[in-house]
Amino acid sequence: QASRLFHPEDTIIKTPHSVIGGDHFTLMAGPCSVESAEHVMKMAKVAKDAGATVLRGGAFKPRTSPYSFQGLGKEGLVDLRKAADHFGLDVITEVMDDEHVPLVEQFTDIFQIGARNMQNFSLLKAVGKTQTPVMLKRGMSATVDDVLNATEYIAAGGNHQIMIAERGIRTFDNKYTRNTFDAGVIPVLQKLTHYPVIADPSHAAGHTEFVTPLALAGTAAGASGLIVEIHDDPAHALSDGPQALQPDQFKTMVKKVNAVRKAL
């Protein structure tokens, strides 16, 4: 169902405040984690002011260590939804577990499936049974065919509102970046599938100073949008502080991204 051969037209996904895919460009931004009601409200304003239409924020966090901050859970979903509604933004948030799908669905406009869960087939089947759009993040070691097969698990259940996010992959040298941003996979996926492709420069870069160059690369490669982590006090962020853009850095990034889009 993912193939262009059987479905030549781009899939266009409509959420209350965004149109995703085709010639549209969608900016998604927010903190890695929802940290508090006040903080996510502040970050929602930053996202909105810079032109984002989707607010991101994790309430259920897939942390590498079980001793790291795991997210605020339901309380985080409530805070995220409130902040998005206050500024007229859509919500994207990660669902980590098939049992949480009904709960998360009450609060989100787009399900995020994290890189670590790209092949969690029971989770893919569970979101596939809903009619809520899904952003599937490419696993750090997933081939293009692995990603496309993962989309089939969602589509097979009847949910065709799928987008794919390139967030960087593991390569032989991830000493200076967190992952290797695979810009080339963007046009490859666009050739093979009609689903929108979103670039996540934050998790590829791993360091604030590399986020904007990768955002520009993803934009130039033709991505249908960006998902970017922002924070006003990265040193005290509860997760992924080292890769967060501060509000003014984010504004500058958006200006440059828009310049690249104009040049295309």
Using CB under 5 A as the binding rule, the residues of this chain from 135 to 194 that contact Mn ion are none
The item of Mn ion, ligand PEP, none sharing an interface with residue 62, based on CB under 5 to 8 Å by kind, is ligand PEP
Nearer to ligand PEP, 10 or 123 (CB): 123
Using CB under 6 A as the binding rule, the residues of this chain from 143 to 182 that contact ligand PEP are 167
Q: Establish if 90 lies at the interface with Mn ion (CB under 5 A).
A: no
Indicate the SS3 state at residue 26.
Answer: strand
Nearer to ligand PEP, 10 or 181 (CB): 181
Nearer to ligand PEP, 10 or 139 (CB): 139
* 29 contact partners, CB below 8 Å, separation of at least 6: 43, 46, 47, 50, 52, 54, 55, 56, 226, 227, 228, 229, 230, 250
Return the DSSP state at 130.
Answer: S
The item of Mn ion, ligand PEP, none sharing an interface with residue 234, based on CB under 5 to 8 Å by kind, is none
Return the DSSP state at 142.
Answer: -
Min. distance of Cβ 25 from ligand PEP in angstroms? 19
Instruction: Locate all alpha helices (DSSP H) within 90-200, ordered by sequence.
Output: 101-105, 121-128, 144-155, 185-192
Q: Establish if 81 lies at the interface with ligand PEP (CB under 6 A).
A: no
* Cα 82 from Cα 73, distance rounded (Å): 15
Residue nearest to ligand PEP (CB): 114
Q: Establish if 198 lies at the interface with ligand PEP (CB under 6 A).
A: no
Contact range with ligand PEP by CB under 6 A, out of 70-78, 111-119, 127-135, 247-255:
111-119
Indicate the SS3 state at residue 90.
Answer: strand
Nearer to ligand PEP, 92 or 148 (CB): 92
* Cα 115 from Cα 240, distance rounded (Å): 15
**45 contacts 51 by C-beta, under 8 angstroms:** no
* Site residues for ligand PEP per CB under 6 A: 32, 58, 62, 114-116, 137, 167, 203
